[in-house]
Amino acid sequence: WQIGLRRQVHLATQKLRSLNASGLATSRAVRDGILVFDTDRRVTQADGKLAEMFNSGFVVGATADATLQNKLLHLFARPEEFREFWANAFASENLARTAEFASQAVQGWLSVYTGPVVDDQGANVGRIWTFDDITHRKKLDMESLHSQKINAIGRLAGGIAHDFNNLLHVIGSSLEILTVEKAPAKVSEQLATVSSAIERASELTHQLLTFSKPGQLKTEAFDANELVARVAQTVRSRLSESIHIRTSPETGVWPVEGDVGQLEHVLVNLCNNAGDAIPQRPGNIEIRVCNTTHESLGDCVQLAVIDDG
């Protein structure tokens, strides 16, 4: 009888050790910090990840109230919210819930789960808490939301640009009728100015439509000297008269393939920035064009905007 009893104790001990090892391996495999209480609301398990996450050790046998007050509460940006969550969980034996809290411990966000611990008979034997650092996930969610907002703004801008472009076509058509009719020289000059402004506005709407629908670029071969001359004329009308705009074209410059409207937009912005960089008037802005060779690109055309600001 004694031999049989010893054998049963030995087998039960081995089974218990196996269960403990399995539970320990499981808790180590889970990235969350784990905190377990028994039915008397005393700590029975606190894994090392929890202590590492909060930079503080948890005392086995400590009460739930002491653990909350001494170890957990100060870790949250809004401690009263977590206190209420904690109290509600212990007040309801079968409650299982997950909540997210801003944390000062990880300088970000924590996902906290709590649920009952039951044995193989379904009886409640305690409560488990897990703490997961979700700061990186929150950051990705915010970036995704920001990207969705940018896409929505792009679609809105594209719709507005499309409608505005239709209005420009109506204005341009009416202007062509007026231009055909005989008009004094001064009126014809003003009509030409209006026509030029309409063309410029049409280019801007084209750029808006391009940015709202990425990938749909209008590429064509063009002369960089002609582009620079057109940009210089546009910039002269925008900047102060005391700022002198000059170009340095090169004879025999190679043709360039790309989106003329976008490149013109870039050069205009560079010239505007150059004008802002000139603290004292008068000043000079030069737009240069030349053939060159780049070590990784090979033969290419270089555009340069130079100011004395």
Partners of 36 in beta bridges? 45, 128
| H or E stretch at 59 | none
Query: How many CA atoms does the CB half-sphere of 70 hold within 13 Å?
Result: 10
pLDDT of residue 139: 86
Q: How many residues are present in the chain?
A: 309
Q: How much is the mean pLDDT over the chain? A: 82
Tell me which residue of 39, 20, 63 sits closest to 125, measured CA to CA.
39
Lowest mean pLDDT among 49-63, 163-177, 215-229, 270-284: 163-177
The per-residue pLDDT for 146 is: 83
Q: What is the pLDDT of residues 252-296, one digit of tens each?
A: 999 999 888 788 888 988 988 888 888 777 889 999 999 999 888
Q: Write out the E strands in 182-227.
A: 219-222
The tokens describing 179, both together, are: 């231009």
Biggest alpha carbon distance in the chain? 127
> Regarding predicted confidence, which is higher, 116 or 154?
116
User: Does pTM top 0.75 for this prediction?
Assistant: no
Percent of the chain with pLDDT over 90: 25
What pLDDT sits at residue 25? 46
If residue 129 lies in a helix (H) or strand (E), which one and from where to where? strand 124-133
The answer to whether residues 281 and 244 touch, using CB atoms and an 8 Å cutoff, is no
Q: Do residues 88 and 74 lie in contact, with contact meaning Cβ atoms separated by under 8 Å?
A: no
- Enter the DSSP assignment of 42: B
pLDDT at 213: 61
Neighbours of 231 (CB within 10 A): 23
The answer for residues whose C-beta is within 8 angstroms of residue 47's C-beta and 6 or more apart is: 27, 28, 33, 34
Cβ distance 254 to 225 under 8 Å?
no
Q: How far is CA 2 from the centre of its chain?
A: 71
Query: Cβ contacts of residue 42 below 8 Å, gap of 6+?
Result: 61, 62, 63, 64
282 preceded by cis ω (within 30°)? yes
**pLDDT for residue 114 is more than 90:** yes
Query: Alpha-carbon distance 105 to 158, whole Å?
Result: 44
In whole angstroms, give the CA distance from residue 12 to residue 4. Answer: 12
Range name among 2-11, 70-79, 90-99 with the lowest pLDDT average? 2-11
